[in-house]
Amino acid sequence: MADHTVTSEVVFRIRRFDPTTDADPHWEDYRVPWPPGMTVLEGLKQIKESLSPTLAWRSSCRMGVCGSCGMFINGRPRLACNTQVSELESSLITVAPLPNFNIIRDLVPDLIPMFKAHTETQPYIIRDDTNEQRQPTGEYWQSAHQLEQYLQFSYCIKCGCCMAACPTCATDPVYAGPMPLAQAHRYNSDSRDGGFAARKQVLSGERGPWRCHFAGECSRVCPKGVDPARAIQLMKRQLVFDYLKLGKQKCPASIAKVPDGMKRREGIPEAPPRTI
């Protein structure tokens, strides 16, 4: 597709599957107009509106933020909403549901196993001062350097593209996968968190990082630039240091103290009361 001004149509080859009527998935071709700037998601909407109203997929924000529209596009896990047809350099666009997941219907993968594994790693800040968390009196202190230790891993949008690209996920149903493990490391690396001992029960077992073969495909396909492969390797080191007792005992960050003499500037309203 070198001359984009000449090409006016593109063929979408879509993997279709309806469990109520189909015994196996099959491919169907749809020819649609291709205006400059069209994304794969916009092409799917054209197909649903004019050619096949039964076509099913999952999407929401259309801005590469929610992660709902992860699909297997031209042999690679991508977000349909920010994948330009012109970037694929082909007049034939193949679209299938993300691999390594069961199919609910057409392009809709069953992400429940991924989110179940994510939940098992307790992806939230764990501390002993539960009263402070429920009725906060201040902010937990954290330096800019401590923020950098986990910041990039917090950009994950849970789209499942890394899981679809992982060869270990394809062959090992017990393995938690790059998304849950990277998010577990995100909280283990947070200076405000003290839940490593609790998460270690999951991370040191068969679902943990030791199953990773370090193919690195999870990091290559991430649409947000997160590096799950790095997180998993850092987690291995963290577990080894903990086993050998070489790591420093990390104490969760304390409440930041208000400097003496500090006064609230005039005109700045108070924060609204907590709703949860």
Q: For the segment 242-275, what is each residue's pLDDT rounded down to a tens digit? A: 877 776 666 788 887 777 777 777 777 777 776 7
Q: Please say whether the beta carbons of 121 and 176 come within 8 A.
A: yes
Burial degree of 144 (CB within 10 A; 0-12, 13-18, 19+): exposed
Residue 165 or residue 1, greater confidence: 165
Tens digits of residue pLDDT in 41-94: 999 999 999 999 999 999 999 999 999 999 999 999 999 999 999 999 888 999
Quote the pTM value.
0.87
Strand-pair category, 76-79 with 26-33: unpaired
Residue 3 has pLDDT above 80, yes or no: no
Residue-range domains of the chain with CATH = 9-109 (3.10.20.30), 112-244 (1.10.1060.10)
* 214, 229 Cβ separation under 8 angstroms: yes
What residues contact 213, with CB distance under 8 A and at least 6 apart?
167, 168
The pLDDT mean for the chain works out to: 91
